[in-house]
Structure 1
């Protein structure tokens, strides 16, 4: 039996073995004394003393003292001290210090720093800087001008595309009269249709009084009518059947008394095209004025008043030859109201002709494809370049315009090669009645809205220059 001695730590001499006990290992007592030789090493106490060399290294305490050399490196504390060399680099804090060389460059902040070299798409401009929508200009009034106002664009006119092509050696387009040729614009726009009244175009034309523009009118009142005007699908004159020599020969027949007893009817009808206007009475006067009509020019006023004014002379309807072309001069607001009813096939909605059915005034021959409306630019061009009356410099400037006969003659000058004028005022006008329908001698009436004397001198000058042939009774009587 061995002596009882104080327990000693196991012998750590190299090569010496401690015999295995024959009894199972007991749980270590909860005492702090060193264990028996025969008992396995207990779990280390929660003391702060350093462990025995033979015990496995415990988990490091949560103390702040530096770890033992044999202990694995603990996770770095959340302190601000620099990390150990053997530790992986932690994620950079959200500080402003420059990032580690091994870290990817962070995304640039949404600051005002210069953009990267890759070009960014240009931003859309803000709506505040976009140009304002064009609107109709303020209305101008005739009473605010004591004479015809002059604008920088007064003599600017829309063009109508390809001018008339001709091989006619006698064509007025080959005139030797330099004064006429300087003023003549062969491709000036003749007709207006629904594509011609944008806001910008309105603002240009609103500077001119009627019928040369839309001064004093409201944009919506005119546009509702113009938007109904169809674009012409055929030229005013179909020139497939040119007469010998390749010339388009036209007669323009006015209502002057010089034709009374003239016997010019057959000569007039022999022309390829015949233009007439206003109260074009032919029945009973065929020997003097002929009976053919290719183009009839009118205003809403002339087509309505002629039916009662000339009724005593046998005028019961406007000319209505098969295939006739009707041309309207839009001289005022009443003409646009007329157009609204005519092209909508409804009664006129307002104005002087309210309630009327306009298409019934064309004797069954009205056809949109054969209906034309003269452009205000064409009317202003005729006045400015050929028939500019001195009255335009006075207080009555706004009512003065060329006559319907004058506009008709210039329409023929822009669509024909050769133009012969009949029934226009000549120097000996006092010898004849006012109109050819009047059997008795009447005094010629001069209306304030037309400068007849200036027109008479213009026709004589054109005749002398060979631009037109003007029928003059005195010349005929001398042969």
Structure 2
């Protein structure tokens, strides 16, 4: 953990989701007022600062969600946290850091960047148990199934371990048969059936609601 975060007596954190529901809501200043701002995957802050803020303390990602130049939407001291889902993910980050000539390209569900540079002092690899815990302990998904937690739930599980106060903003999805509302605040992509095959959105929504009702986390978008 960076000293700038570690030395905080009270870590007031916000996990910023990528939902289209945050677009036009003007939560930027509220988000940036937190001690720790956690972002997901390749979600940009450029051109969206009024809604999502501009500070990024921690960003969780995996190879398929990485961008070639992470500095475009992160701060110099952003802690980049790789979520390893498969052994190839370790291979990818090693090849990026060592700048190997022949990169591994097979085995990824989407082609990751062939170049990715970051200060290794601000790079971490998330312990696989955090993902395991989010998937099988919190959501209680079947181990024999092929579904796993979204990055948002994994990030929230991490926040519950390292923060004293945890807020969320920008979580949620359009209705399953909604073909008009974008999924994310930063693009026009719509819901795909693949999303429901990989993730149990219903289980995630029910768990989030339970955590909010118990006062474990707060949703900044709820009245």
Judge same fold: TM > 0.5, yes or no. Answer: yes
TM-score (norm 2): 0.83
Residue 350 of structure 1 corresponds to which residue in structure 2?
A: 104
The one of 167, 172, 181 equivalent to 1:420 is: 167
Residue 378 of structure 1 corresponds to which residue in structure 2?
A: 130
The one of 215, 218, 222 equivalent to 1:466 is: 215
Structure 1 residues 329-348: aligned runs within 5 Å: 329-347=83-101
CA contact (8 A) 1:258 1:432 kept: no
Q: Tell which structure's C-alpha radius of gyration is larger.
A: 1
Residue 200 of structure 2 corresponds to which residue in structure 1?
A: 451
**Alignment CA distance shift 1:428-1:248 (3 Å):** farther
Structure 1 residues 181-330: aligned runs within 5 Å: 234-235=1-2, 238-240=5-7, 242=8, 246-304=9-67, 319-330=73-84
Distance 1:373 1:324 in 2: 14
**Alignment CA distance shift 1:288-1:452 (3 Å):** same
CA contact (8 A) 1:256 1:435 kept: yes
The two structures, once aligned, show a CA RMSD in angstroms of 3.0
**Alignment CA distance shift 1:340-1:353 (3 Å):** farther
The one of 151, 176, 186 equivalent to 1:404 is: 151
Distance 1:317 1:239 in 2: 23
CA contact (8 A) 2:28 2:54 kept: yes
Deviation of the 1:419 alpha carbon: 0.9
3-state SS of the aligned residue for 2:162?
A: coil
TM-score (norm 1): 0.41
Off by >2 Å, runs of 4+ in structure 1? 234-240, 315-320, 342-354, 426-433, 442-446
Distance 2:139 2:10 in 1: 27
Distance 1:323 1:344 in 2: 21
**Alignment CA distance shift 1:387-1:261 (3 Å):** same
Residue ranges of structure 1 left out of the alignment (5+ in a row): 1-233, 308-314
Distance 1:252 1:389 in 2: 22
Matched residues, number: 216
Residue 215 of structure 1 corresponds to which residue in structure 2?
A: none
Deviation of the 1:423 alpha carbon: 1.1
Distance 1:420 1:337 in 2: 34
CA contact (8 A) 1:338 1:348 kept: no
Distance 1:413 1:237 in 2: 18
**Alignment CA distance shift 1:449-1:465 (3 Å):** same
Deviation of the 1:444 alpha carbon: 3.6
**Alignment CA distance shift 1:250-1:330 (3 Å):** same
**Alignment CA distance shift 1:450-1:465 (3 Å):** same
Higher relative CO (Cα under 8 Å, sequence separation at least 6) belongs to: 2
**Alignment CA distance shift 1:451-1:265 (3 Å):** same
Deviation of the 1:296 alpha carbon: 1.1
Distance 2:182 2:113 in 1: 34
Structure 1 residues 36-55: aligned runs within 5 Å: none
Distance 1:444 1:333 in 2: 28
Residue 367 of structure 1 corresponds to which residue in structure 2?
A: 119
